[in-house]
Amino acid sequence: MIVAVEGLERRYGAVRALKGIDLALEPGGITGLLGPNGAGKTTLVETLEGLREPTAGRVRVLGLDPIRDGKKLRLRVGAQLQSTSIPPDLTCAEVLGIHASFYPRGRARPVAEVLERVALTPKARALVRTLSGGQRQRLALAMAILHGPELLLLDEPTTGLDPTARRGLHDLVRRLRDDGCTVLLTTHYIEEAEQLCDRVVVLREGGIVADGSPFELLQRAGGSSTLWIACSGPFDPAPLIAAGAAPQGVDGAHHRFVTRDPAAAVVALGDMLRGQGLTLTDLRMKRPTLEDVYLELVGPEPVEAGDA
């Protein structure tokens, strides 16, 4: 087990940031911690990094205690903080050189190789202050993978990046996974979780509310699908209704139905067309997205006191 967390609690004064988290990570794959701001994602990741002490519960990363065995763990874990500050007056190569010196001799990979890996070779001699947001994030990632970690903890690695830069970072993370590194990242982008992650853990108010592959989450949540049906003539929707599809009105030539079981509705539609001697002129279907599932799990954005 790469990560084993049992009953993890973390309090800040009266605020319970984490309320009894149980989480186990097998080697390999990209796991995404998805949740709104304040859900406890960063607290959880920083507890795994040993930057925060748990109030209660048991945390093991690579079988080690992140607080007690911090030094040993840091040789095997790579991490990127949510807001990484890098000395602005040094070049990319210099920053990586400094970080390489923190590891035992021979442990860190050559700086040139790591720069190549994150596609920053042309920027090796550029000062950090001149880098774009995406380049800075890639440099932060380079700092995290310098020593070939077994586990990579990335806290919102793509926040604030434009779509192209985000795609580039996704490719990098996928390649790291393919090389056998286990990745745990936090995000509040649903598409990111869907496209990048093999497993998604949804956090809400310090607790886990869902856990599974993006596909599983879609299945499990069982949200409603919408069907738009257009036929050669008027029809009697009774077979569809019997199959669990509720008529929702008409959009131009299309009749709209909502159902939790689109497969049954499509079968019933076939029977209906044959029985009533009609032909289908158009069929459209909208499946629930991960976003629908997520919003169902997480609920509406709470309006904070004093926000007005």
Partner 1 sequence: MIGVLRAAAALYRGHLLALLRSRTAAYFTLLLPLLFLFIFGFVFGRIAPGNFDRLMPSLFTITIVSGSLFSVSIRMVTERETGVLRRYRLAPVSALSIVLAHGMMAFTTMAASVLVQAVVARLVFGFGIHGSALALAEVVALGGFSLVPFGLVVGSVASDTKVAPMMTNMLMFPLMFLSGSAIPFALLPEWMQRLARLVPTTYMVESLQAVIVRGLGPLEVGEPVLLLLVTGFIGVAMNAMVFRWEGTERVRWRNVLLATMVLALIYVVAFYTEPGLHIGQGFD
Q: Where on the chain is the footprint of partner 1 (CB under 8 A)?
A: 49, 51, 71, 74-75, 79, 81, 83-87, 89-90, 94-95, 97-105, 127, 143-144, 147
CB of 209 to partner 1, least distance (A): 28
Supply the minimum distance, in Å, between the C-beta of residue 13 and partner 1.
13
CB contact at 8 A, 294 and 300: no
State in angstroms the smallest separation of the CB of 188 from partner 1. Answer: 20
The answer to whether 284 touches 228, Cβ cutoff 8 Å, is: yes
Nearer to partner 1, 41 or 255 (CB): 41
Q: How far is the CB of 166 from partner 1 (least distance, A)?
A: 22
Q: Which is nearer to partner 1, 96 or 227 (CB)?
A: 96
Cβ-based nearer residue to partner 1, 89 or 178: 89
Nearer to partner 1 among residue 86 and residue 241 (C-beta): 86
**103: phi > 0 → left, psi -120 to 50 → alpha, else beta; which?**
beta
Of 196, 208, 205, give the one whose Cα is nearest residue 290.
196
CB nearer to partner 1: pick between 51 and 273: 51
Q: Which helix (H) or strand (E) holds 16?
A: strand 15-25
> How many CA atoms lie within 13 Å of 46's alpha carbon, on the beta-carbon side?
14
The Cα 104–Cα 121 span in angstroms is: 24
Tokens of 26: 């097998």
Least Cβ distance, residue 18 to partner 1 (angstroms) = 17
Greatest Cα pair distance, the chain, in angstroms, is 79
